[in-house]
Structures are given as C-alpha cells and as structure tokens.
Chains A and B, each alone.
Chain A
C-alpha cells in the first residue's frame, strides 16, 4: 500500500488552474523525482501535500486512508517532512539544539543525555556520524546544514521526506553526501520526493520520476526505463534537439589578460588569457576559487591583487565602477541578493547602469529610458508587457535574462558570470545558453564560473579546471570530457 498518494488533485488560484487532475502514489523505500519547468505545478503539489494549500478537488491518502491535511504541523504529525531549498536553522545554535528545536515531543524536564544519544543516532543515519553535536550550525556548509535538517526530521519519525531542489547551491561532493543520506533513508524504508531541475540527478538518485507540465501529470516512469532525451521531451512537450547552441565562435585577439591574480585567502597566483568571441569556463566546486576569481575581476573582492588588462589597457581591481568603465559587466551568482532589484520594475532594472547615457545635467530623459528598456527587453527575449511589473514576479529564468539585458553594452566588452543557470528551469536554460552564444558572436569575451559540469562541457570553448584556488588543467572544447574534468576538480593533480 502506498505510504502517500494523491488522487485527482485539482487546484486553482483565481481562474488560474495550477494543478489539473494529478494523481501520484509513493511506495515505501521509493525515491521519486518530480520534474517540470518553473510554473509546472511542482511547488503547489508539495504545498498541498504539506497542508499549506487545500486542494479544490481530489484527496490526499496517507497509508491508504483519505486524510485532510489542515496545516504544516498536521502534515508533520503524519510523518511528512519538507527540507526546503533555503534552510531555517538558527545559525548560532549548536547542531544538537537545532535538531530538537521546536520538537513538541521533548518534555520540559528531559534527560539531556538521551537527547544527545538520539540526535547522534539520527546524524549517523544521514552520514554525519563524526560531527560534534556542539558545533554551531553556522560552521557547517550549506550541504552540511541540509543533512542536519534531514537528521532533524528523522528524530521526528518522518516517513516521507520532501526535498525541494536540495542541490541547487551545492558542490558535487556535497551532493554526493546528500545522495548517500538518501540511499540510507531509502534502505530504512523511507519514501522520498525529490524535486530538481538537474536531469542528471534524476537518473543518479531516483527510482522513479513524475513529470508535470502546465499543471498536468505527463507521466510517471521508472528511471531505468527512460533516457535523458525522453525525460526532456516529457518536460518540454517537444524534443529538444540541442540544449546547447553550436559553437561557431571565432576566437579573436586576447581581450582579458590576468597575471598573478591573488584573492586571499583562496586564490593564489592565477593567470588567464581570454580571447574575444569565446566562452571560458572556470569549472570548480565551492571552495575552488572559481567564483572568487570572477568576483575579483568584477571589482567586488576588496583584497584582490594582480595585473589585469582589458584590450591592452590596465584595469584597476577593487572598484566595480572602474571595471564597468572598462566595458566589463558582471552577472552575479546570487540573483536575489546581488543580481536584481527585486522590488523595482523590470524596466528600472534593465536600465539601472545606463542612467548617465539618458540624462542631461543629472535630469533623466524618461522617455528615452523607456525606449532603451524596451529595446533591451526585446534583445534578451523578455515580454515588453512586463516592463512595469516588479522583478520579483518574474521566474528565475526571466530574472536571469534581465541580468543579461543589463549586461549588454554599447560595444563588446568582457562578460563575467557566476553560475549563470542556478535555479533556472530547463526551458529557460536553453535561452540563457543561446544568449551567452549571442554575446560571444558579437565579440564579447565571456568568462564564467560554474560547478555544473554538464553545462561547462556544453557551453565552453575553453575549460579551466580549478581545485582549492589553483588551476588544475586547461582544455580546448572537444578535449575535455566529464571524467577528466570531474577528477580534476575533485582531486588535486600533482603537476598543477
């Protein structure tokens, strides 16, 4: 009997039907991926299972019994646990305190030792056996925190774990630890719902996959019985011949030359020469220094030193304004925190860095700004009708297009990016890759840091692998393969 099932669930918000007649059943010891583009209804489905929303039609069955889930506490009492993408663990408290925080089963007068032992047991089950219970959570990596969150749910006797894009911000090693924890949970007979944008993970970690599209269930398959292309076709409703556009780049003269770049405490003595019209990928995990190098070139690392020149002209590090004056543009890895002004309109966002071109004596030419915003929106494929809506109403993919629109300059320069497709769904990803190629074709020199190896191999003309602040190897496109890149970024090679 399925431990959790939904039958013929329909949910409307206003006139907008976000889930249509969706049925799923989850067995014990099953890891089920739920895939779909942004807006396909994945989150709404999770919210119905966890009692945040009530369905307009249909029922949720727990152990075969129809159950009305009133609110998230109620869902938890039924053993349904959510590990959210962004965690809510209080960082200053210890691992032990975090595990028991808010657990109503702990009596006022409890035996501390018993709590420690039970917490220890839960941590061992998720592969954190060697973690001290007294470590403050802020000392853990994001991946570590997610494992603690899993342990926390274990102490609450959860039977169904829902993971909402747990790996979006993790490095490969951390992802592997999460997968190991999932396998351990599965061996105990727990059921797991795994929401992800990354198709590779579906095949690596999941037994079955359900695909949602526009609120409808396209189908549920065993992962052993389908392949990537089939899964992608299910998600997009069409076959995607090529996710990554052809490389037609004609690498030109060196545009960006970096010598002896130091970014304390991580990056030491980094050198790079990047030509016009090519995509250079710095491939590395969190802590490899790839992101830090890009940030330093942007001018956002306050203690970076080194000789950098753009088209022969020296660039002063540590000043974003100076970097911008050298036609250097940056797209941040942290879209909400640093990339986009979420509460300002799409139009305002697009022209944020162009005000000087549309002002006389400091007074704005508002009409010319509107025209410029519309032109930029068209250039990156954003709907002009949305120019005046706040940026936080856009999907992750569209927000990223917004960031690209802002990066378009009057003349080709250097485009710096970190994790350009983080949190972007498959459909919008293809658009982003096309945009990157478009920049390239116009003569931009593109340098990006990424920990998504599939993306690195798909888009890069030159792959630079990074490990602990140092370059491991450099590959031209065609020379690099998954195996070599993966081994480069996970193990230091002797002759670096």
Chain B
C-alpha cells in the first residue's frame, strides 16, 4: 500500500537479514569445506595446484572488476577482450624482451580501460554501454591487426610466468600479490577511500568537493592493469593466443565479485571478499569435476549457486 509500510518491512528484514547472511555464510562455508575435503583427490597437492592456477587468471580480472563495481559502475563487459588483446600484444612484442613486452601489454590494458573510465567518469556515460562499445572496438581492432590468425611468441623468456616457487604455482603468486596490492589501494590509500565514497554516493562525493571523475578513471586504470596481467599470464601459460583467450572472463569475474558480497550498487565491498568469491566458485567447480559430474551439470550447478548467493545478498540487504 504505502511507501512507508513497504520500507518499514524492508528495514525490519535488514536487521534479521544481516544475521541471516552471517549464519548462511558460516553454514555454506562449512558445507563447502566438508564437501571438498570428503571428495577423494581434492586435498592432493596436484589438485590444489591446479585449483590455484585456475583461479589466478580469473582472479586477477575479478580484482580489477571489484574496483569498477565499488565505484558504482556495476561491471565492464570489455575486460575479457582486454585480457585477450593484452595477451596478443605481449606475445607479439616479446622480441623487445620480457620486461618491454610486459610493459607494453600493461600499458595497452591501462590505456584501453582508462579511455573507458574517462568517458564513464567525466561524461557520465552508462558504464555497461561504454564497455560493450569497447568490446566491439577491441574485437574489431584485433581482427584487423591479426587477420584472424593465432599469435605466437615473438621471443623467449615466458618461463618466468610459469612453473612453481616453493611448490606454489607462479601464476598464483602473481594473483595473491595483485589481491594484496588491490586491498592495500582500497583501504590504505587516499584514492581508494575516495573510490568507495564515490561508489557509495556520487552526488555526496561531488558536493564534498571530491574528484569523482578521476576516482572512477583510476578504478578503470586498475581494472585495465589487472586484466592485462591476466592476459600476460594466460599467454605465457598457453604459449600462443587469439581473441578467444579471455572470452567470458568478465562474466566469471563479476560472478566472483558478487558471490564475495561486494555490493552491485557500489560503495561497499573489498578485494578480500572477491578472493573468497573466486575461491568458492572454483572449489565448487573442482569438487563437481572430481565427483564426475558432466561439464553441462557443472555449469548448471555453479550457475544455481551463484544465483542463490546473489539472491541471499539481495533479499537480506534489500538491495
């Protein structure tokens, strides 16, 4: 009937909701752990290493996506294409040596993303539409530049992005470093704090004299750098690449961000939450694989779980 009544109900739900979320999280965490540890082969070093490697690529993109989501810009659909394109640039420019190629790839990811960030931040264009346009541009540009061919490394030195250090896959080390750096930026730096404020309430941020547009652009720059890193890691792992390399990474990344509990409305969340989201999704997938579920069923079950988690957050926080 009335607005006041509806809001009152949501308000009531919110108090119970927060407790509910904590309870569900504990139960779900315990269930996943029990389920995983009781699965034969899960706790083996081989499977753990495979898991860590697998989450590293999507994980880097998800860290970048977290920044876009937290600044209130929902998600970007062009990060997957940025991953692929950065990988191609890295492979093609390996003739300049690994540091040069790495720098070029990162620079490319950063500039592609920064351009989108400026359009979104300064012109207030809709972030998803901008990212769809960027996706088309990247796909078209790459098709023109490569003629649709696979790209192979133009030099050597890929091994520094592969293998293990102290028994841990190198990719995972890069990923964990990205997580640590991301969380540091978010909670220990000025720009990180401003990003959260802009995401929480852009009008209030503007009225307080904070530079909202540059905070948004910075978030996109970070997302671009993270995606480019994922591209470099993927290129090194597979030794060659095309534009399919990072396809779908943006969707997986946003799923991880939301499962972690970062608010799709912006202004609340963290990189650590995203790490948890990435882990939860990956563990469920591995367990399903080890238990012999078909690929189709794996997708289906993962989809249902992601949906359930997002519904839980939506219902319990009324948003």
B196 in contact (CB, < 8 A): yes
Whole-angstrom CA separation of A363 from B197 in the bound complex:
16
- Residues in B with CB closer than 8 Å to A88 are 2-3
- Residues in A with CB closer than 8 Å to B9 are 52
> 1/0 per residue B181-196: CB within 8 Å of A?
0000000111101101
B-contacting residues, A344-366, CB 8 Å: 344, 348, 352-353, 355-356, 359, 362-364, 366
Distance between B157 CB and nearest chain A CB, rounded to angstroms = 33
Distance between B154 CB and nearest chain A CB, rounded to angstroms = 36
B103 in contact (CB, < 8 A): no
Q: How many A-B residue pairs have CB under 8 A?
A: 107
A210 in contact (CB, < 8 A): no
Q: How many residues of B contact A (CB 8 A)?
A: 28
Distance between B210 CB and nearest chain A CB, rounded to angstroms = 7
**Nearest B residue (CB) for A323:** B209
B8 touches which of A53, A300, A359, A362 (Cβ 8 Å): A53
B204 in contact (CB, < 8 A): yes
Whole-angstrom CA separation of A356 from B210 in the bound complex:
11
**Nearest A residue (CB) for B207:** A338
B22 in contact (CB, < 8 A): no
> 1/0 per residue B157-198: CB within 8 Å of A?
000000000000000000000000000000011110110110
> 1/0 per residue A40-67: CB within 8 Å of B?
0001001100111100000000000000
Distance between B211 CB and nearest chain A CB, rounded to angstroms = 7
- Residues in B with CB closer than 8 Å to A171 are none
A-contacting residues, B1-15, CB 8 Å: 1-5, 8-9
B38 in contact (CB, < 8 A): no
- Residues in A with CB closer than 8 Å to B2 are 50, 72, 82-84, 88
A406 in contact (CB, < 8 A): yes
**Contact in complex: A344, B203 (CB < 8 Å):** no
Distance between A146 CB and nearest chain B CB, rounded to angstroms = 12
Whole-angstrom CA separation of A164 from B4 in the bound complex:
9
Distance between B20 CB and nearest chain A CB, rounded to angstroms = 16
Distance between B198 CB and nearest chain A CB, rounded to angstroms = 10
A389 in contact (CB, < 8 A): no
**Contact in complex: B189, A82 (CB < 8 Å):** no
B1 touches which of A75, A338, A339 (Cβ 8 Å): A75
A87 and B267 in contact, given A298-B207, A337-B203, A362-B189 (Cβ under 8 angstroms): no
A123 in contact (CB, < 8 A): no
Whole-angstrom CA separation of A75 from B193 in the bound complex:
46
**Contact in complex: B206, A343 (CB < 8 Å):** no
A76 in contact (CB, < 8 A): yes
A117 in contact (CB, < 8 A): no
**Contact in complex: B5, A339 (CB < 8 Å):** no
**Contact in complex: B209, A84 (CB < 8 Å):** no
B268 in contact (CB, < 8 A): yes
B211 touches which of A73, A300, A321, A341 (Cβ 8 Å): A321
A96 in contact (CB, < 8 A): no
B-contacting residues, A296-322, CB 8 Å: 298-300, 320-321
**Contact in complex: A364, B190 (CB < 8 Å):** yes
**Contact in complex: B5, A344 (CB < 8 Å):** no
Whole-angstrom CA separation of A429 from B191 in the bound complex:
35
Distance between A368 CB and nearest chain B CB, rounded to angstroms = 13
B111 in contact (CB, < 8 A): no
> Which residue, of B2, B8, B191, has the highest number of chain A Cβ atoms within 10 A?
B2
**Contact in complex: B8, A47 (CB < 8 Å):** yes
**Contact in complex: B207, A366 (CB < 8 Å):** no
**Contact in complex: B1, A82 (CB < 8 Å):** yes
- Residues in A with CB closer than 8 Å to B4 are 43, 46-47, 50, 52, 82, 84-85, 164
**Contact in complex: A300, B207 (CB < 8 Å):** yes
A-contacting residues, B205-244, CB 8 Å: 205-211
Distance between B66 CB and nearest chain A CB, rounded to angstroms = 17
B201 in contact (CB, < 8 A): yes
B252 in contact (CB, < 8 A): no
- Residues in A with CB closer than 8 Å to B201 are 337-338, 340-343
Distance between B231 CB and nearest chain A CB, rounded to angstroms = 27
B49 in contact (CB, < 8 A): no
Distance between A53 CB and nearest chain B CB, rounded to angstroms = 7
B302 in contact (CB, < 8 A): no
> Which residue, of B8, B194, B204, has the highest number of chain A Cβ atoms within 10 A?
B204
A324 in contact (CB, < 8 A): yes
**Contact in complex: B267, A366 (CB < 8 Å):** no
Return the 5 tightest CB-CB contacts between A and B, nearest first: A72-B1, A324-B209, A88-B3, A84-B4, A320-B209
14 contacts between A and B (CB under 8 A): A46-B4, A47-B8, A50-B1, A52-B4, A53-B8, A84-B3, A88-B3, A164-B4, A300-B207, A337-B203, A341-B201, A342-B201, A343-B268, A362-B191
